[in-house]
Each structure stands twice: as C-alpha cells, then as structure tokens.
Amino acid sequence: MLENLKNQVLYANQALEKYGLVTFTWGNVSGFDPESRLMAIKPSGVPYQDLQTEDIVLVDLSGQAVEGSLKPSSDTPTHIELYKTFSEIRGIVHTHSDWGTAWAQAGQSIPCAGTTQADYFYGEIPCTRQLTKNEVEEAYEKNTGTVIIEAFKDRNPLEVPGVIVRGHAPFAWGTSPENAVHNAVVLEKTAKMTYLSRQLLSDPATENLEEYILNKHYERKHGKNAYYGQ
C-alpha cells in the first residue's frame, strides 16, 4: 500500500545523512497521503543505511499503525498533529542538526538576517515556548506538536516551513518529503550563517534584513509573480 509514498519517505530519510543533518538515528522524515489520510514514517531507532521500503510504517491520524512490522518513530504524535492542522503540507522532517539545535537550546528564534533565508522563509524562523511539566508528562510528543501549532497562530506554515522547538531541536516541512528535507537543509544553513554573522555585530538588533529586500527575495521564488528557475 502507498509504495510510492513509502519510497519517497525512504529516500528522504537516507538524505538526512547525505546532508549531515543527523547523528546516529537522531531524526526522521514522514510523508502524508491526503486521499487515504495515512502517514508513512521512519521506524523508531533503525539506522538509515539499514532501511528498506518495507520498513517504512503506515500510520493513520489516530496514531494506529496500519501497515508495517516495526514500531513507528517516537515522534509520530508530533507529525500527526502537524498534518491534522497544517492541511497543505505533505512531508515533515525532524532532526537534531547542530546549528538548528543550538538555537533551540538557546531558546531563540532565528531572525531573517539575509537573503539566503528570505528565499525560503518569509521572515524569522520562530522558536516555540517551553513545554510545561504537565505537557511533558501527559503526552510529550503530541504536545510538542501543540506548541509548534501555537507558534504559527499568525504565520502561514508554507511561507515559514520550519520551526525551532525550545530546548529541543528543529522541525521543517514542505509539499513533499523531499521538499521538507530541502527546507531542513536551508534551515540548518541559515542557522549557522546567522549565528556567525551575529558574532560580527556590536548590536544584534541591526541584523534583521530590510523588509523590502525580504519581500523581493521571497516573492521572486514564491507566488504568482515568481521568476526564479526554469
């Protein structure tokens, strides 16, 4: 069932190592099929190089595995909450990549300091609030999704396809599993670039890109007047 989606998810998970976004098995990718309302996701704790298509687990939006002999990722409830709320996304990536996680541990959003970020993220990459003790003890992974959703109350998740979970690590998403990985790579690169550029500033408040430049760079790749690419 959903062999094409499972293959997409397999290749996207393997790409995490290719792009240096993971250590050991510290990350996962899922994909969502809107017709069947099923999610395909990496099995928990399986090394990326060992993954086969048949290892990818199909899960419904209630969290029940409907195909696959292995346990799905422990982050499955987070992915489910995002698919249920962000109806246009079709792929989600979670990693503990170095630079994105550094911002998470600092509890800071990543400001849009340059055009590299503006090409993909329409403004800052937000950092969520800290989960409460009750949220962690009751349903940690589900509530991780809840705080991400809260951070997007006034944001479009397709215009800002990623987030930093305070004290945890980044999530990114997109229109497919492959696109979600692409956005996760950009998030990691801009996290590094912004950190390094901040070291050169005497006043970090000056680091935000001018709005007219942000608009130009985002809109040349997105929307009806986009002209970047073939």
Give the H/E segment covering residue 10.
helix 3-18
Max CA separation in the chain (angstroms): 56
DSSP code of 160?
S
- Are 123 and 112 within 8 A, CB to CB? yes
* Nearest alpha-carbon partner for 59 in 141, 140, 137, 131: 141
CB of 43 within 8 A of CB of 71? Answer: yes
Q: Are 188 and 180 spatial neighbours (Cβ–Cβ below 8 Å)?
A: no
* 8 A C-beta contact, residue 17 and residue 52: no
Assess whether 119 carries a catalytic annotation: yes
Catalytic site includes residue 228: yes
Q: Please pick, among 55, 119, 140, 195, the residue that the annotation labels catalytic.
A: 119
What are the residue numbers of the active site? 119, 228
